[in-house]
Amino acid sequence: MTSYANQVVLNIRFKVKAGKKEAFRKSLYSLVEVMSNEPTFINAIISDDIEKPDDLVIYEIWQGTKDSWLQEELPKPYRKKYEEVLGDLLEDRIISYLTPNGEWGSNLTNVSR
């Protein structure tokens, strides 16, 4: 199967501190509202973990590579305010950078099957 280096997927699990989930959700939604206007942004899905009620997961698709995302998107000024509040809201954040290589049900990636 062919993988495409021109898109990167970020799969991020947020382990939210007890009692802070709605405050974190508000902050995350605000971030996504701003970042969704970036030219390389494709899509984001935020989900609650059914089995871990204090966890939220975001799945983001971006044009580019992991390196281009880290160089161009991570340093954006609007992310600074978001990052500053995370210490009060999160226990942990686990980030996976992925390359899409198969897709069914939509056409968000540049993957051919």
Tens-digit pLDDT profile for residues 26-77: 999 999 999 999 999 999 999 999 999 999 999 999 999 999 999 999 999 9
**Domain presence at residue 72:** yes
Indicate the number of domains in the chain: 1
Rounded to two decimals, the pTM is: 0.89
**Domain presence at residue 2:** no
Listed residue (4, 31, 1) closest to 93, CA to CA: 31
**Domain presence at residue 42:** yes
**Domain presence at residue 36:** yes
**Domain presence at residue 46:** yes
Q: Where are the alpha helices (DSSP H) in the chain?
A: 21-35, 66-72, 77-89
Cα–Cα distance for residue pair 103/80, rounded to 1 Å: 33
- CB of 42 closer than 8 Å to CB of 108: yes
What is the domain extent for residue 19?
7-98
